[in-house]
Structure 1
Amino acid sequence: MNIGVDAAALGMSNAVVANTHDVNSGYWNPAGLMGLEDGQVAVMHASYFANIAQYDYAAYAKPIDNESAWGISMIRFGVDDILNTTQLIDASGNIDYNRISKFSTADYGFTFSYARKLKLPGFQYGVNSKIIRRVIGDFANSWGFGFDFGLQWERNDWHFGLMLRDITTTYNVWNINEEEYNKIKNTVAGQNQELPESTEITMPKAQFGMSKKIEFHNETSLLASGNLNMQFARTNDIISSSLVSIDPAFGFEYGYTDLVFLRAGFGNFQTVTQIDNTKRIGFQPNIGLGFKYKGIQIDYALTDLGDQSAALYSNIFSLKVDLSIFR
């Protein structure tokens, strides 16, 4: 639930909390659903770790009336066809490759979003209720539940946004298959002797963003946006304390006639310790490209360019369709 959705946003390093106003707002800031004029659908696919992991997303949202809107979305991040070699060697020490099976591990996130305008001019808010489902083959599975709260406001052509994720703390309760666990608990002496913890906790996080779009006379525009991503613990973020750690992100989008878009972003600023114990600042640059025609928008992002962080770069594609084109 922390990776992000929509190639347009990812190309801007996720710095979209203040300026998101479409179907993907259900993820970034549900208050942005108030920017919808009609129903929209969106889908996205990405492959991670040399195509080992698959990341998929689908969403639908529409206005209820002039004062409110709603949306639903689903995320799946999974690794399929993992070889299960726990039974490769039988009780007599014989290797039997016919005893190898396959399983999948996947995380699912289901979100229902609601947004509404406030009576204060320029202010709007949104809430998410989330169901988290995690499955590790036949070995274990869990259910979780959580809430997000988002707020957006506009002043003098500046847009501001606040997103509070997992505001009540999101809990996942695991169910361990003890029969499968008992098959492997004595495989390595001194390891896996006790069942894992059955409760997984996701602590609250906050994101504050601001953005401004400048329209030029030659039918071009420039959108500049920034985020402050906050965790309430000490991390490797470049601004870090025991109370809060802050990771800034910056995104830019150059548009031509609302048809072609070029994007770039910089985020994930971290303090990296080298082998010789010296420290440097690492960051993740992203770029993106988008096309929009008659309510259909196709976006592409190439994330984590260069060798600034440990992750490998990924190619991400997304599609957004305004359903008004079918009327």
Structure 2
Amino acid sequence: MGGCQMGFSQDLTPKYSNEFLNIGVGARALAMGGAQTAASRDVTAAYWNPAGLMAVTHKYDATLMHAEYFAGIAQYDYLGFTTPIKNESQVAVSLIRFGVDDIPDTRFLYDANGALNYNNIQFFNAADYALLLSYARDISDKWKIGANAKIIHRNVGKFAQAWGFGLDVGGLYVQKRLTAGLMLRDITTTFNAWSHNAELVRDIYADTNNEVPVNSVELTLPRAIASLAYNWNLGGTFSLLTALDLDMTFDGRRNTVIASDLISVDPRIGLELGYKQVAFLRAGASTFQYIKDFQGEQSMNFMPSAGLGVRLNDRFQLDYALSDIGNVSDTPYSHVFSVRVSLKKLEEDFRKFKGWDQ
């Protein structure tokens, strides 16, 4: 039978579906270990918890981030923009791309005569894209809510592609210096509908005794992230923000600090020390895992992160983060850069509700 066959994957709910959406966005956030559900109060809140968009203080707030992973093999980029609607709501749009470019296609390395011809090598890209459309609203001085609609596109050159859709909802409770947050990702179960151009790889899969891929649907199960953030009073010169996120998954036991067949909990910890709200020093820890060595002894490992931030003026801020995968991998450190641009500061009485400890 020619063309692509129709079928369904036996495992529709893999544990690590759409993992590129769990990396995080913004150098500030990544330097703090991704502990942002209650701490993010700028345009990046559209990703971490859209309810935090209500803390944006400018009419136009935009950010651009670039990072390279696995010694520059993978490129990770993010672009976000937000603006208010009247005085009690906010909208945002975010675009995320994680891709590996210029992958060699060696299917035609040998010509019809069996001779090796490197000129026949072609190249393709494998990339994941996500478009987030966000809406946030003030309920009162203390309660803020928000939601994301996600459109996902994944492609592996001409060989396969997927389209998906999902929804997130988030909320914040603000009590002076303490903020509590809850983010529910993929609340309706996010799906990816995969289509494969099987004819391009049929011969290769047959030669290697692999099953020819068929069209399938991949599901991403819901997860919940609970968070606390606290701004400590250190006087007018210094500020200290501490944040804790508890990332909870419900797809079976994972290698996390708290793990069971019902729920697994992965904590994230972040710190941000500020100097006159101009310069910032950040640190974080995430991905706590139990690792066994060759002797069978078990130890706790985690992914450390650190970074710096500089607010050049009321309009421009530069941030940098340095992170790796901890002791569980030899992968080099990753450098993350982002720039934030804020234009037209809002009047102090613009918002209908307050509640933020700015």
TM exceeds 0.5? Answer: yes
Superposition map of 1:1-327 within 5 A? 1-37=21-57, 38-90=59-111, 93-119=114-140, 121-188=141-208, 190-191=209-210, 193-196=211-214, 198-232=216-250, 233-292=252-311, 293-304=313-324, 307=327, 309=329, 311-324=331-344
Do the aligned partners of 2:37 and 2:225 also contact (CA within 8 Å) in 1? yes
SS at match of 1:66: coil
Q: Helix, strand or coil: the match of 2:282?
A: strand
Q: CA deviation at 1:306?
A: 5.8
Give secondary structure in 2 for the equivalent of 1:109. Answer: strand
- Flag the 1:255–1:272 CA change in 2: closer, same or farther, 3 A: same
Q: CA deviation at 1:305?
A: 7.6
Partners of 1:138 and 1:177 within 8 A in 2: yes
Q: Which runs of 5+ in 1 are unaligned?
A: none
- Deviations along 1:1-44, one digit per CA (max 9) or x if unpaired, are 11000000100000011021111011000001111132100000
Look up the SS of the partner of 1:312 in the other structure: coil
The two structures, once aligned, show a CA RMSD in angstroms of: 1.9
* 1:237 alignment partner, SS class: coil
Residue type of the alignment partner of 2:281: L
Q: Deviations over 1:236-280 (max 9, x none)?
A: 001100011011111110001110000011111011122233211
Consecutive unaligned residues of structure 2, counting only runs of 5 or more, are: 1-20, 346-358
TM-score, structure 1 normalization: 0.94
Q: Is the 8 A contact 2:198 2:214 kept in 1?
A: no
Shift of 1:99: 2.0
- Per the TM alignment, residue 147 of structure 1 is displaced from its structure 2 partner at its CA by 0.5
Q: Percent identity?
A: 44
Q: Do 1:283 and 1:309's aligned partners in 2 also have CA atoms closer than 8 Å?
A: no
Q: Does the CA-based 8 Å contact 2:268-2:286 persist in structure 1?
A: yes
Question: How far apart, in 2, do the equivalents of 1:194 and 1:323 lie?
Answer: 52
Instruction: Note the C-alpha offset of 1:182.
Output: 2.3
Cα gap change, 1:310 to 1:248, in 2 (>3 Å): farther
Shift of 1:229: 0.8
Kindly provide the amino acid, as one letter, of the partner of residue 210 in structure 1: L
Change over 3 Å in CA distance of 1:245–1:30 after alignment to 2:
same
Q: After superposition, what is the alpha-carbon deviation per residue over 1:215-246, rounded to whole angstroms, capped at 9, x for unaligned?
A: 32241111111110111121000110001101
Task: Please report the TM-score for the alignment, with normalisation by the length of structure 2.
Answer: 0.86
Residues 160, 194 of structure 2: 8 Å contact kept: yes
Equivalenced residue count is 324
Residue aligned with 1:23, SS? coil
Secondary structure, counterpart of 1:249 in structure 2: strand
CA shift, 1:308, in A, is 5.4
Q: Residue 208 of structure 1 aligns to which amino acid in structure 2?
A: A
